[in-house]
Structure formats: C-alpha cells, structure tokens
Structure 1
Amino acid sequence: MLSPRHIQDFSIDSELEYHWGYASRQVPCVNDAGSCAYLDAVYHEHDLGMLYTFILWAVICGILFLWVLGRHLFPLTRVTAPSKDQLLEDSRPRQNAFYRLGTSIKAFSRRYLLSESLTSVFGHTTRLQILILAILSGYLTIFTFVGITYKTWVTPVKDTPGVYNTRTGLGPWSDRIGVLAFALTPLSVLLSSRESLLSIITGIHYHHFMFLHRWLGYIIFIQSAFHTLGWTIIEARLYQPQPTVWNEWVAQLYIVWGIVAMILLSFMVAFSTQWGIRLTGYEFFRKSHYVLAMVYIGACWGHWAQLYCWMIASLLVWVFDRGVRLVRTFALHHFNTPNTNSAFGLHAPNARMTVFQRSHDGDVIRLDFEHNHDEWKIGQHFFLCFPALSIWQSHPMTPCSVPGQNPKGQNHTYLIRSRKGMTKQLAQLAHTAHAENKSSPTTPIVLSGPYGHSILSDDFYREDDINVFCVAGGTGVTFVLPVLLALATTTSTTSSPRRGLLEFVWAIRRKEDLKWIEPEITLLRKAAGTMSNFRIRIFVTRGSESSPALATTGPFEPSKETVVVDNAQRPSSLSLSSSSSPSSEMKEKTFTIHEPSSVASLSSGNTEHPPLGTQVTEFVSRTVAGPTRVIASGPLSMIRDLRGAVAACNDPGAVWRGEERFDVQLLHDDRLEY
C-alpha cells in the first residue's frame, strides 16, 4: 500500500521498511524532526502491539496444549491395584496421591468458584467464568496502555505557514486498541461455534463458552468505539487545516469501510442484549447475528487489509462450523435409513405427538419416534427442526430416552413445553390433527447433532460407590431421566448391588404432570422397590387443575395405579396397587409425592420449590463413601441454588484425607446457556 500515510510521501525515491500489519515506512525520514520522532513512536508502538497480540494467542494455544496433555497423558485414575490383603480387608477402591491431589484441587475450585456472583451484571454464571473474563480484561487493559509514548509533538503543516499539527500518543494508542480488537475477532467466533474446536480440545461443552463470547463481543465493541473516537478527535481537531483534513480523510474508502464496520458492530451489540432480543424475538436475533457478523468481518477487511489474517481466521472458523453442521445433518438423515423418495435421499422420521393440555401453564407436547443412527451419549442434546412449520428454525432438545435399547434404531423421546413461537405452533398442529380425528398425530423431524458431552463416564458403571443425586424442575426431567434409567437398568442386570446412593427429586406444578413420563416413572418405581439405596420424591408446588380430567392425545393411557400422596411433608400410609410391585412399606420409603398443605389457587402464582440446599446437604450427609454427583436441570433459579449448595458441600481438606463423598460435582443441563 503506497498511498500517503502519516505525512509520508512515497513518490520520493527512498527505501521502504516493512512492518507487519501496517503501512511500510519510508527510510530515512524526510520530514521535520518532530514528525520523524512521532513516526518513530508510531511504528515502534505498532510493532509492540502486534507482539502483544502474538503473546495473547501464544498463551491461549499454550493453555490448550497443556490441557490436551493433562487430559490424555495424565488423566486422574481413581483406582489403584489393591493387594490381596487389602481386597479381603476392604473392597472399596484405593486412591493414589496423584488422584487425591487432583480431586482436592477440583473441590477447592468448586467451593470458591462454583457459586454465582454479581448476577445483576453478569446474569446466572459462575465465579469461574467471571474470573476468566477478569483475567482476559486485565491482560487487554494492561497491554492497551503499556509501551505507548505519552508525549505531544507540535509540527508545522507543509505549504501552510503558521498552521501546526498536534501529534500525541492518542494516535498509536488508537491503533493499538484497534489491533487488539482485530486479533480478538477469531476468538469471538471460536467461542460461539456449535461445532466447537474448543470443545474437541478441552472436552468442555460449547455452551459454556457463550458467556465469554457475549462479553468478548462487548469488549470488542468498546475497543472499536475508542478506536473510532480517537481517530475522529485526531482528524477532526488535532490535524490542521480544518475542515480540509477531515473532509479528505473521511472520504477515503478504508474510512468508509471502518464506519460501516462500526455501525454493524453497534447493531449486533444492541440486538444481542436482553432488551433487543425481547424487542425482535430470539430467531430474528440469531439469524441477523449470523449475517451481520459475516458482513462485519468483510467490512473490517476493507477497513484495514494489512490485518486480513485475523479476518481469514474468523471466516475459516465460521465456514468450518457451518460445513461440519451440514455434513453431520446430511449423514444423520441419509446413511442407515430406509429407502425414501424424498429430496437427496434424506429420511425425516415422523414423531408421534402426545399433548397434555394445561389451562394456565401452557401445553406440554411429548414426541416419540425411532431413527436409525449411531448411539448418542447420555447428557447430549439434539437440535430439532420441524419442516411442517419452518425449515429455518431449530431448537435444542435433550432426549429423555436411553440410547442403544432398540436393535432396529434409536428411540427418541422429548418433552416440549408450549410457550410461544414455534413451540406454540407445534401444539396447535397437534390439536388440529386431533380435531381431524387422527388418533395418533405425527410430524416430520429433522435432527442435528448430537451436541455436548456424556455426563455418565465409565466410572458410573465401573465404580458402583458413586453417589448420584438427580434433581429436576418441570420438563427439565428429560435431562436426568436417562441417567436414572441407565443406572437402574445397570444395577438390575448385575449380580452385585449398587453401594452408592441414588436419589431423584422432581419439582412439578401439578400432580397431573406425572403423566408426561408415565411409562418411565413406572419403571423407576419398580427399580426403587428393589433397591434399598434408591428413592424417588416428587414435590408438587401448586394445586390440581380445576377440570376433573385433562384431554390428552396420543398413545398413552392414564395410569390405573394409585400414587403415594404426602400432604404433611412425611411418608403417607397410602399404598400402590400393583400385584407385581414390592410391598407397600417399601414403596412408602422409596416413592413419595409431597403436596402443599394448603392447595394454592391457579392464579396465585405460587411457584415454591423444595429447599434444594437442604436436600443436597442432607443427601451428602447420608453418603458413606465414593464421590457425589449432582445432576440437575430446571429453571435458572434452581440451578443458582444448587450451585451455592454444591459449593458449600465441597471440602478439599476432607477429599485430600480420602473422604471422597465431599468431592461434590454439579452436572447441569448445558442448554441453559443457550
């Protein structure tokens, strides 16, 4: 780029000194002494800025490299080979020092970094996320100001006697902050990817990166705003004569692209706030965010082409994410599927819809279908698209079925609460089909996924002393239900009983909500009746519907069994009527339903949940050995309470002494970050 830059005239025959990411410098300097000193500072500080961006990415890549080494070369191994005497003396697994050190560090970090703080500013996120954001912000703040020459040069304007330019450190500082904004753009795109390279490297669910993506976007916006403001002050006030300098500067193409990029970035930030999403709707935000982001990257390239490498990296990450997503969706619906005459040989399974009508809280739709593909891992979720309604929207849903149970394919079951938008249209579609006398209404489904990671590692099956506490609120039961079914099934098929405690707490608004998962609840009740360390407790937070019966459509009939009801928050004397099930005394201990002592009216808004902190603490106190895992899904308020309770239960000192039950980990539904 040989256009005039920084009062340099490249028409003069002189050598050019290359500077990466910037205009080449004319050497030797042919300007006045003050201008030459200013140019020395400008180019030196730009080179420092580029060095700082390289250091930033070197640190990020170094951390990821060490993470990979730690995961694959030095994994935490809980069990050491015991001697025969140890086996005879105690059948519990032995812990080596390396494992105890690692788990103690994890317990320490959970105790102090798992709870939420400053929710009015950062929303429902952990202290660990805030700490990472603070470290990144501190690095950027330090290296935004380090190395800048804070000095003023007053230089004469060529061919204009008596007129002077004021040159300060504001110019190099504005360039520095702009360079950092460019370097952060690929990281922002990387943090937002669904097909996340970071998840592949670290094993962390991609939704956990959404908090950093959102706040990194705010940082880039602030950097860009200060970069724009700085050069506006320089060109409109400090450089002379005016308005000639300003008019010539703002008319240049690279400045026009810079203005376009700033406008696009402002729109993205405004519409990504809670106010913007409520105003336009989530789907508009998501689609517009994709389009604006790509145009913004192109505008940044047009603004400063010397730093195109950061824009190419951003585009490559985005293309990788989109390309892999399309390939996975195509493979999921093309391979190992029945012969079909649909477009491109794709097969979209038809889901059977069961609607549970509710007069106040919105209908709940249950989807059941079979599709032949590889097994997913318990805890993963799919994005569901309903072509009968729209091909441009998909929603993350966690299947509440266990994979690998059907030799002809995978059974999928989903619970969807009808709110507004697509879910409301889905309920209306089911009601319309039912009105047309269709006994089992269906709708085609397009799947994308699976996404996320397993919450049931091999330890859950190999080591039977792990204590599992499952808690769910409403339709969040889809996340914990496969865990319960898998553990209960594994225990029933093995000869040795499970030693770790297993407990299921489900908070629902009305007792009729049990019909959502009636077949699964029946299986769990039978399993709980045969396992002394497994109990199920249902907490009803509101009264029953005023209508005597709910209208349902679908294949499931209401259960004929009587449920155990506890109006006084204690086991009831009512029994379960099932000849093949265990005794009534056992059922009273393993399956109870707690209803409010005074039935609340449907309009009262009573949404009390069981005291989760007390529940978790009481569960940990009943454990004897083995680590504790709390698996949860529900409203954000429930997750907030659980984070605080789990953090309080972690005791790094006790874990170091070998008391693993104080190694308490929270595994919650990652779709909450979506």
Structure 2
Amino acid sequence: MSSLMTLEVRATFPDWLNKLKQYGEEVYPRFIWFIWLGFFGIATFINVCSILWAWRRRRSPHRSPSLTQNNGSSLKRLPSAILTGSRIVAYRWRIPAVNMTFLEILLTCCYIIVLFCFEFLNTQHLGIRYFANRAGHIAGAQLPLIVALSSKNNMVQLLTGVSHEKLNLMHRVTSRVTLVMVWVHWWAKHTQAFDYLEEAWKACGWVAGIVFSIMVLISLQPIRKRFYEFFYLTHVLLSLIFLILAIIHCNNASPPVPQYIYPCFIVWGLDRIGRLLRYLVVNNFIRTKGSAGELELLNHDALRLTIKRRVPWGWRAGQHAFLAFPTINPTQSHPFTIATIPDANNEIKENELTFVIRVRTGFTKSLRDHVQSDGTCQLRVFLDGPYGAPPDITPYDTCIFLAGGSGISYTLPRLAEIIRQASKSEACARRVTFVWVVRERSHIRWISSRLTSTLSAVPSTLSLDLSVSIYVTSSAEELPGQGYTESSDSSRSSKSDLEKQPSNVINEKEGIDAEVSALENAGVQICTGRPNIPEILEAEVGKSVGPVSVDVSGPAPLVSTVRSTLSSSFAGPLSVLKGGPTIQLNVESFTM
C-alpha cells in the first residue's frame, strides 16, 4: 500500500515539476533582487547626471538672456520640456487619499506587481504546492531591503541622493507588501495541514509572522503619530525578536536559506556602528562639560536651542540632526533641522548649531515645561548627525525660498549658503527671493539676528538681485485667491497658557520694534497679511533667464499651494518649449 502511494505521488509530481518548484523558490527571489539592483542603478545614473549637469553649469559662463529666451518654440528645448512634464507628474501631483506623490504610488504598484508576478508565475494553475514555500522565500529575500531602507547610513542614499527620511516611506511600503507575502506563506502552509508545533523551527516561523504583523500594525500612521515613543521602542525591540526568530526558521528549513537574514544584521550593524562613531566624535565624550546647550523660551510656542560642537565633516544647509536630552527622557531622540551653517572661518574650533523648536505636544511640551521656570536654562544634549541630502541649488539662476512658521529653520540656512557660494563664484544664482510667513509679529524674533547678520554679510560687489520679505498674518483676514492659509493647531494648544508665563520669560513685545527696524535697515520688507504665493511664483519665474529652484518648508497648505502653482501652465512643458525656464521643486518635510 505504501509503495502504491509513493508511485502515485511520483506520478502526480514528476521530476520536472519538482525542479520547477525548486527553481521558483531558489531563483525567483534572486530575479527580484536583480530588478531592484537595476532600479537602483537607474536612480544612481540619474543622480550622477544631475551632479555632472550641476558641475557643468557652475563651470560655464552665464549665458545672456537673448540666448536663453525667445518667443518661438524650438525642438532643442524638447528634452527640457519632457523633464518639466515628468517633474510635474512625478513629484507635484499628489494623491490626496493616501498622501503620496504619483511617483511614490507608481513605485508602490510596481513593487506589488513584481512580487506577486514572481509569486504566482509557473504555479501550474495556482497550485498551492508551488507557491507556498516560494512566498516565504520571496518574503525573506525582501528583509535586507527593508532594513536598508530604514537605515540612516546606507548605500542607497549615497548612490541615489535620496535622503533617509524619504526612503523611510518606501521602508513602510516594502514592509507592508512583504507582510502580505508572509500571510500568503502562512495561509498556504496552513492549507497543507502544516503542524507549526511539530518542531521548534516551525513554531519560530509562526511566531515570527505574528511579531511582524504586530510591528506593521503599530507602524500605521494614527498609532505612530499619536504614540511615537511607544512605537519607536517597540519597533526596535520587535525587529530584533523577529530577526532572531526568522533566522532560526530559515536555518532549519529544507533547504536552509540563511542568506536572507544574515545581510540584515550586517546592514543594521554597519548603520549602528556609523551612528555610534558619529555620536562619539560630535559629542566629544572626553569633555563631558561641553555637552550642554542653551535652551531659550522665545514665546509661548517656540524654543531656541543653541549648542557648540566640533563637526569635523561639517554639514550642509538644510540637513537635520537627532537631539537627545538625557534629563528629559534618556530613551528618546527627535529630528530637528539645523538653522545655521558652518562658520567658514572656524574649521578647527567648535561651530554654533541653532535649532528652532516649535512647541506641540509630548516631547516638545516637556522641553517647554522644563525651561518655563526662568525662560532660559543650560541643558545636557547629545547630537546625532548631521543627516539628510538637501538638493544642490548652485546651478540655478533663480533661487526662491518659501517658509511658513518653523520652516524657516530649513530656508534660512539655505539662503545663507547660496549667498556665501555666490560670493565665491561657486553658484550661478543671479536672483534670490526669500519669503517667510509667520502668524505673530513676535515670531520674527526667532531668527531676526541671524537673518540680519546673513544679509549684512552680502558683499557690496556681488551682482545678486536679493529680495527678502516677511509676512505677518495675525491681523490679516483671509483674502480670496491667495491660496494659503496657515495652520493654527499650535496656537490652540499653547495660547491658553499665556497668563501662566512667569514675568522673566522673554517679553514678546519688548524689543521687537528694534529688531524689526534692524531687519528693515538690512533691506527686509515687513508686510501685513498673507502672501499671494501663486502671484509671487509666476512673477519670479517670468523674470528668470535660466533654471529656477524653489525650496519650500512649512505647513501642508503652503506646500500644497506651491505644488499646485508649479503645475500651472506658466511652469509647464509648453512654457519651456517657448523659452521659459525649467523649475525644480524641493520640499522639506519630516513626517513620523
């Protein structure tokens, strides 16, 4: 009877089908990786081309306006028009339901299609026997990619120029799609009457699937944003548990497939070693007294942190750092944009790093409560950074900076850096427009001295058309067609505490007139009301004789207005065909 069953099985599953099953489990996961490597290769090629274009622009002399613009269309501008159209579709069109750009949606769909095509390819009419184990192999093969996309120090950022906070979105996408693949593996083995408790390695695989599911569940945005500290700690702990369970499961599978898990530990370990070395160098643990920073309460909803550190490798304008305050919470670190640039004449000594911290809830509210007793305090702080890959704007003739509220932390150092580069003939900028929108007049004090010193440092011999405007919206009513309404979430959470502020907290009215006067003397226009963002952008693009860069940071309505405006006809492909400039949009946002 037993021999008859064996003959029946062999007849049902001939050798060629067994080889097909084995081929799908062993080779298809590699094919998927070849596709990812090809994609990273394309992204790297685009990044290299951008770097070479920027280098060529900086080396070539400025072309005269007559050679740059004319009234007719030209096929010579077709590549630039195609580039403009692709930028609009890929980066400026946003899908409201999922809050993702068209490019991010496209990459997500491609990822899903590739994984599931290889999952069910050559499965003999979707026979469970052929895709049950394959689902586990494909899911396991994605783990190194998932870990790499979550790392702050990784080769993907180095090669493609995409910063880690933007790669983190794809980390979440790949994790969730891989979880579905784990569920397919789970369900298929259950259908085959797979006994999970028969052996330890099988039980480890079953528990690993549960742990992975919990990790993805608590990473969903409502939970992640509301309970970020809980999410972060559990995510790190569960990740370690999951990888240990997964390696036990994969090492004892038939055949063993440890090659999926070991790279995860290598990638994770290299990232942690890099962060540790950076942490030790920047914070100089030999001189523990130098770890203190000055925390200052600017007003009811803003703090300013100033620290001095020696950062041997410097930092670029627009980069951010993770700050940890042991006396507040030793287990937490949070990202904040560095609002200053390195001192060009201070390469050996310590540089001053300033952070403008907007008070919300949770961690930032704890910081405000800590400093509220006397308005300023010395606080021990550790810095991990800098991180981020802000785009290079040196090859652009016109640079436009738009900020709302604490978004000034990003645009102000970008302004200071482009002025410094232009004065050294390291940038092509001829025209710079800077707009900052604040809700209250007292908010100008956040960066007034820094902005004044930046403008005062502009050489008189520099041929640069510079326009700086600050809009105060608190006393202005909403005007039709202006396209931007500043969020008031933070005001609702903080203004109720105004009467509770101590008398020695920085007075929000005292001294503001002197600072505003200093800004006006430096050439800053102080306006009341809301800026007409579409009108400003269209006017600046119309005046430009070369490529335009637009940097924006601030509330979502401001960013949305800029995106939609730069998708209009004056910034579109037809305008470029007729001699209009190409436009690059850089959006700074760090979402948890």
The two structures have a TM-score, normalised by structure 2, of 0.83
Q: Contact 2:147–2:267 (CA<8 Å) still a contact in 1?
A: yes
* 2:243 pairs with one of 291, 294, 297: 297
Q: CA deviation at 1:413?
A: 0.9
- 1:92 Cα offset (Å): 7.6
Q: Aligned in 2, Cα 1:194/1:70: closer, same or farther, shift over 3 Å?
A: same
Taking the aligned partners of 2:59 and 2:457, their CA distance within structure 1 comes to 32
The equivalent residue for 1:61 is 37
Residue in 1 aligned with 2:370?
429
Residue 490 of structure 1 deviates from its aligned partner by 5.5
CA contact (8 A) 1:629 1:665 kept: yes
Q: Which residue of 1 aligns with 2:295?
A: 353
- Equivalence for 1:131: 106
Structure 1 residues 486 and 291: alpha-carbon distance in aligned structure 2, compared to 1, 3 A threshold: same
Partner of 1:231: 189
Structure 1 residue 456, shift from structure 2 partner = 4.2
| Aligned-pair CA distance for 1:175 | 1.8
Q: Take 2:281 and 2:152, find their aligned partners in 1: how far apart are those partners? A: 17
1:190 is matched with which residue?
Answer: 148
CA–CA distance in structure 2, aligned partners of residues 255 and 496 of structure 1: 61
- Is residue 472 of structure 2 the alignment partner of residue 540 of structure 1? yes
The answer as to 2:525 corresponding to 1:591 is yes
Which of 209, 217, 237 aligns to 2:167? It is 209
**CA shift for structure 1 position 504:** 1.6
C-alpha distance in 1 between matches for 2:357 and 2:60: 48
Q: Which residue of 2 aligns with 1:452?
A: 388
The answer on 1:518 being equivalent to 2:441 is no
In the alignment, does 2:257 pair up with 1:307? yes
Which residue of structure 1 lines up, in the alignment, with residue 220 of structure 2?
273
Could you tell me how far apart the structure 1 residues matched to 2:10 and 2:264 are?
A: 36
Assess if the C-alpha contact under 8 Å between 1:330 and 1:346 holds in 2.
no
- Assess if the C-alpha contact under 8 Å between 2:374 and 2:505 holds in 1: no
User: For residue 558 of structure 1, what is the aligned residue in structure 2?
Assistant: 511
Relative to structure 1, the CA distance from residue 665 to residue 69 in structure 2 (aligned partners, 3 Å threshold; closer, same or farther) is: closer
Against the structure 1 CA distance between its residues 91 and 616, is the aligned structure 2 distance closer, same or farther, given a 3 Å change threshold? closer
The one-letter amino acid of 2:395's match is D
User: CA 1:113 to 1:498, structure 2 compared with 1: closer, same or farther past 3 Å?
Assistant: closer
The offset of 1:212, in angstroms, is 1.2
User: 1:505 pairs with 435, 440, 459, which one?
Assistant: 435
**Is the counterpart of residue 631 in structure 1 residue 551 in structure 2?**
yes
Q: Does 1:366 align with 2:304?
A: yes
1:618 corresponding residue in structure 2: 539
> Where do 1:79-478 residues align within 5 Å?
79=57, 103-120=80-97, 122-123=98-99, 125-150=100-125, 169-235=127-193, 250-277=197-224, 281-305=227-251, 306-334=256-284, 348-358=290-300, 363-374=301-312, 375-405=314-344, 407=346, 408-434=349-375, 440-459=376-395, 466-478=397-409
Q: Distance in 1 between matches of 2:528 and 2:574?
A: 36
Structure of greater Rg: 1
Cα distance, 1:147 vs structure 2: 0.5
Equivalent position to 2:7, from 32, 38, 46: 32
* Shift in Å, 1:272: 0.5
Distance 2:75 2:315 in 1: 32
* Deviation for aligned residue 1:249: 5.5
Rounded Cα–Cα distance in structure 1 between residues aligned with 2:238 and 2:366: 28
**Change in CA separation of 1:104 and 1:577 when aligned onto 2, cut-off 3 Å:** closer
The separation in 1 between residues aligned to 2:191 and 2:45, in whole angstroms, is: 49
Structure (1 or 2) with the greater helix fraction: 2
CA distance in 2, matches of 1:183, 1:43: 20
Alignment of 1:592-607 (within 5 A): 592-595=526-529
**TM-fit CA distance, 1:496:** 13
Q: How many residues align?
A: 553
Secondary structure class of the residue paired with 2:474: coil
Contact 2:343–2:351 under 8 Å retained in 1: yes
Structure 2 distance, partners of 1:592, 1:270, is 47
Q: Take 2:247 and 2:76, find their aligned partners in 1: how far apart are those partners?
A: 49
Q: Deviations over 1:397-450 (max 9, x none)?
A: 11111212452321111100122222122112212355xxxxx52112211111
Work out whether 1:581 is the aligned partner of 2:521. Answer: yes
> Do the aligned residues in 1 keep the contact of 2:430 with 2:464 (CA within 8 Å)?
no
CA shift, 1:344, in A, is 5.1
Contact 1:510 1:542 in 2 (8 A): yes
Q: For 2:65 and 2:533, how far apart are their aligned partners in 1?
A: 37
CA contact (8 A) 2:337 2:410 kept: yes
Q: Which has the higher contact order (CA 8 A, sep 6+)?
A: 2
After superposition, give the CA deviation of every residue in 1:127-160 in whole Å (9 maximum; x if it has no partner).
1111111111111222222100128xxxxxxxxx
1:241-286 deviations in whole A, cap 9, x for unaligned?
A: xxxxx6x56432222112101110111011111233256x101111
Q: 3-state SS of the aligned residue for 1:502?
A: strand
- Contact conserved, 1:354 with 1:553, CA < 8 A, in 2? no
Give the corresponding residue for 1:159: none
Match for 1:594: what amino acid? T
Helix, strand or coil at the partner of 1:31: helix
Counting aligned pairs with the same residue, the percent is 22
In structure 2, the CA distance between the partners of 1:494 and 1:175, relative to structure 1 (3 Å rule), is closer
What SS is found at the alignment partner of 1:32? helix
Shift of 1:79: 4.0
Contact 1:110 1:647 in 2 (8 A): no
Work out which of the residue numbers 572, 577, 580 in structure 2 matches 1:651. Answer: 572
> Is contact 2:400–2:432 with CA below 8 Å preserved after alignment?
yes
Measure, in 1, the Cα distance between the counterparts of 2:441 and 2:320: 27
Match of 2:26 in 1: 50
1:220 Cα deviation after fit: 1.2
The corresponding residue for 2:484 is none
Q: Paired residue for 1:13?
A: none
The Cα of 1:370 is off from its aligned counterpart by: 2.0
TM-score (ref. length: structure 1):
0.73
SS at 1:413 equivalent: strand
Give the Cα separation in 2 of the matches to 1:286 and 1:32: 54
1:479 aligns with 2:410: yes
Give the C-alpha shift of residue 37 in structure 1: 2.9
Task: Give the AA of the match of 2:185.
Answer: H
Does the CA-based 8 Å contact 1:515-1:558 persist in structure 2?
A: no
Give the gaps of 5 or more residues in structure 2: 477-494
1:610 Cα deviation (Å)?
4.3
The whole-number CA distance in structure 2 between the counterparts of 1:57 and 1:131 is 18
Aligned equivalents of 1:81, 1:297: Cα separation in 2: 50
Cα distance in 2 between the residues matched to 1:146 and 1:498: 52
Residue type at the aligned position of 1:508 = V
SS of the equivalent of 2:6 reads coil
Q: 1:616 to 1:529 in 2, by over 3 A?
A: farther
Q: 1:333 to 1:111 in 2, by over 3 A?
A: same
Note the aligned Cα RMSD (angstroms).
Answer: 3.8
Q: Is the alpha carbon distance of 1:638 and 1:257 closer, same or farther for their aligned partners in structure 2, counting shifts above 3 Å?
A: same
